[in-house]
Amino acid sequence: MSLKVWIDGKFYDKENAKISVYDHGLLYGDGVFEGIRVYRGKIFECEAHLRRLFDSARAIRLTPPRSAEQLRTAIEESIAINHFSDCYIRLVVTRGPGYLGLNPNKCPNPSIIIIADTIELYPPETYEKGMSIITSTVVRTHPNSLSPRIKSLNYLNNILAKIEAADAGVPEALLLNQEGNVAECTADNIFIVRFGEVQTPTTSDGILEGVTRHVMLQLCKRLGIPCVEKSLQRHDLYIADECFLTGTGAEVVPVTRIDGRPIGDSTPGPITRRLMEAFHTHVRG
Which residue pairs, CB below 8 angstroms and at least 24 apart, start in 122-129?
122/171, 122/250, 122/253, 126/171, 126/253, 127/253, 127/254, 127/268, 127/276, 128/268, 129/256, 129/267, 129/268
CB 91 within 8 A of CB 34: yes
165 forms beta bridges with none
Please report the domains of the chain, with CATH numbers, ordered by start residue: 4-117 (3.30.470.10), 124-284 (3.20.10.10)
Q: Global pTM? A: 0.95
Neighbouring C-alpha atoms within 13 Å toward the C-beta of 184: 23
Which amino acids are annotated catalytic?
151
User: Of 208, 219, 244, which is closest to residue 55 (Cα–Cα)?
Assistant: 208
Cα–Cα dist 43/60, whole Å: 26
User: Of 244, 242, 254, which is closest to residue 195 (Cα–Cα)?
Assistant: 242
User: Per residue of the chain (285 residues), what is the pLDDT tens digit?
Assistant: 799 999 999 999 999 999 999 999 999 999 999 999 999 999 999 999 999 999 999 999 999 999 999 999 999 999 999 999 999 999 999 999 999 999 999 999 999 999 999 988 899 999 999 999 999 999 999 999 999 999 999 999 999 999 999 999 999 999 999 999 999 999 999 999 999 999 999 999 999 999 999 999 999 999 999 999 999 999 999 999 999 999 999 999 999 999 999 999 999 999 999 999 999 999 987
